[in-house]
Structure formats: structure tokens, C-alpha cells
Chain A
Amino acid sequence: MKKIFVILALLASINVAAAPKLVSKTGHVWFYSHTPVEDIEAHNRQSVSILNTETGEIQISILIKSFEFKVALMQEHFNENYMESSKFPKSSFKGNIVHLDKVDFTKDGTYTSDVAGDLTIHGVVKKVTTSGTFEVKDGKVTAKAKFIVSPKDYEIVIPSLVESKIAKEIEITVELPYTE
């Protein structure tokens, strides 16, 4: 009997030691562009993210070609003309939870903190800060954040012919369910 307890205690300690890095492989990233002429949205549910709960480091990587549009032609234009996804296949965010002390990953609850870091889109790196939400439920962490980006800042050229159809500011939402 005692042996079992010792083993259990050992297993528990191993678990704690291995905990700080959380991985999500099926994160959902989607963007939304609203203009009076047209609303455009596209979804990517294969983003990868690593979250270090001890240091607050957070990394998100996505493949541009994984974005799915309702209209195949739009997806083609997005990849070939605007994002040049064969030249720049990935986008990423590398940053930190600014107020890590406000987030308790060991206790159920919903926590909010700014997240700041480098956002890479179309090969262009920009410093960004946004508000992130961390939901802890039954020990599982889900991170959510919204980034507002302007295509112009990332040197994405939109021809004047379709300018009225694509928003000047595009809303990118990330939802990352972490598994151990």
C-alpha cells in the first residue's frame, strides 16, 4: 500500500515538473474584413502554439495556405496576389504575457492580461500589443486574443480596383485550446 503512495507521489511530482510548456496544435485563427461592399472571413484551424506558463512566453505559428474561404477564387487571390504564400508560407507571433502575475494557470477562472510581442505577416515584423484572455477550466487552458492589423503596415499591396472590398483594418482572432 505504502509503495503505491510513493509511486503516486512520484508521478505527481513528475507531472508538475513537466507542466510549464503547454502545446496547442489545433488552434483556430480567423480573420474578418468588413466593408459596406463585402464581408470577408477565412478560417484556419491548424495553428500551433506553445505557452510557457512559468515565464509567460507565448508563440503562435500558422500556415497562410491553411486559411479556408467560402469562395475558392478569393482563397486563390489571397494566397497568390496579396499574401504571396509561396514566398511567405508562415505567419507568427512571438511574445509575452505582460502581467503574468494576474494569471493563475493552476486555478480555474478567466484572466485578462496584455500580450506584447512581434507579429510577422507577409515577411514583415511589427511590434504589437493586444489584450489576451486566458481561461482555465478543469486544468485546461484556452487562450484568446484579437489583433487588429492594417494590410498596408505589412506591405500587402491591394489593387485600387478591389480597394473598396477589403477593409483598411482587419480583425484577426485567435483561439488556442492547449493540451498538456
Chain B
Amino acid sequence: MKSRLITVIVILTVLVLIFSAGAWFYVFRATDSNVAYSKADVEISAQDLLKRFESDENSANAAFLDKVILVTGIVEHVAHDSLGVTVYLVNPDEISGVICSFSDSETNLDKVKVGDPLKVKGICTGYLMDVVLNKCSIEE
């Protein structure tokens, strides 16, 4: 009888430990890097996205901020720095464009070439001179 009680206590303790580890992991480790695996809220071309922000920033903010956006555009420029890689998507006749920030862990970036069409998924953080996408990943 006593040994059975101990077994139950041990099993319960293990379950509680697993659960709390999972909860801790979920809350503190769940970074937004799973953007790559989440479904896009909006699909739009770089040109249209830029137009929306240029014509009415407030309504575009309401529509796109914090959303996972799948953008299609032409690669204008790729810049590497100590924190990661930035890809500029533009349309040939525009000065502004969409800035996409990647972390160093994105491995598909080597294949990205200036002038190529590219699909990028990221979180929209707003508009300065360009529309800004963060935590980007390349969509095949």
C-alpha cells in the first residue's frame, strides 16, 4: 500500500515537472522565430504594400502592424551586418521599398541574388522611408 502511494507521488511529481518545463519553455523561449512556420495573415506585392502605406499610413498601420505578411518583390540590394542580413525589395520604378530583416540563422540567403523575384514572410513593424518587416524568412 505504501509503495503504491510512493509510485503515485513519483508519477505526479514527474508530470508536474514536465508540465511546468513545457509551460516555461512556451512562455519564455517561444520567440517569434516560429514566424517561418506560421501561416501568413496577408499576401501582397511589395509595390502594393508600399502604396498602402504611402497613401494612408494610419489605415495601413491598422491593417498590417504585427501581422505575418507574405511579400513578393524584386531584390534590389542585400546588406550584411553584425546582427544579420537585410534584403531590400522594391519595384524598379520606386525609390522606397520593403526592408526585410533576417537573422543569421536563415540559410537560404546565399541563393538570394539582386534582380531576382523573392517571396519573404515576416512581421510588419511599420513604415519609415520604407515598409519594415522583421523576423523574416524566405518562402520557397
Contact = CB atoms under 8 A, between A and B. Distances in A.
Contacts of B86: 26, 45-46
Contacts of B27: 73
Contacts of B81: 26, 28, 45, 177
Interface string A64-77: 01101011110100
Nearest to A30: B83
B84 A45 contact: yes
Contact of A63 (B28, B32, B79, B125): B125
Contacts of B135: 68
A158 to B, nearest CB: 20
Interface string A15-48: 0000000010110100000000000000101111
A169 to B, nearest CB: 25
A48 B131 CA distance: 11
A89 B126 contact: yes
Contacts of B54: none
A65 B135 CA distance: 11
A23 B86 CA distance: 16
A86 interface: yes
Interface string B113-134: 0000000000101111110101
A177 B81 CA distance: 11
B101 interface: yes
Contact of B132 (A43, A63, A68, A71): A63
A90 B126 contact: yes
A46 B99 contact: yes
A53 interface: no
B101 A46 contact: yes
Contacts of B128: 46-48, 61-63, 90
B31 interface: yes
Given A66-B132, A72-B32, A89 B99 contact: no
Interface in B53-107: 61, 65-66, 79, 81, 83-84, 86, 99, 101
The list of the 4 closest CB pairs from A to B, nearest first, reads A65-B125, A63-B126, A48-B128, A66-B125
Given A65-B123, A71-B31, A86-B65, 6 more contacts: A25-B99, A26-B99, A28-B83, A66-B134, A70-B31, A72-B28
